Amino acid sequence: MAQNRAMRPPYPVPSRIGPVEFGALGGWITVICPRDYDSLMRSAGGQWEPGSRRWLIERRRIGPVIRTLERNVDPLFRAVGLTLE
């Protein structure tokens, strides 16, 4: 039987992936990142908050952002010998 979307546990959000920092604000995930990642944040439906200079993304839409960052950022840091933990 397929599990209902509302019953899924929330996607685990790390505090940081490379230069990208994550936080929480109610039902939103806050993301502070370099401008190079603006298109990724927009594609996830992110809303730019100019006062605090961060992106707000709905928790349910953060999974693809995290997977993309892990796939693209982690190898770059590993290549120069840095760990992301």
Q: For residue range 59-84, what is the model confidence (pLDDT) as tens digits?
A: 999 999 999 998 887 666 666 655 55
What's the one-letter identity of residue 28? W
For residue 23, pLDDT over 70 is answered with: yes
Nearest to 18 by CA among 81, 63, 68, 76: 76
Q: For residue range 25-70, what is the model confidence (pLDDT) as tens digits?
A: 998 999 999 999 999 999 999 999 999 999 999 999 999 999 999 8
Per-residue confidence (pLDDT) for residue 73, from 0 to 100: 79
Domain ranges, ordered by start, for the chain: 13-79
Per-residue confidence (pLDDT) for residue 63, from 0 to 100: 93
User: d(Cα 72, Cα 26) in Å, to the nearest integer?
Assistant: 28
With DSSP H G I counted as helix, E B as strand and the rest as coil, what are the percentages for the chain, rounded to 5? 40, 25, 40
Per-residue confidence (pLDDT) for residue 22, from 0 to 100: 97
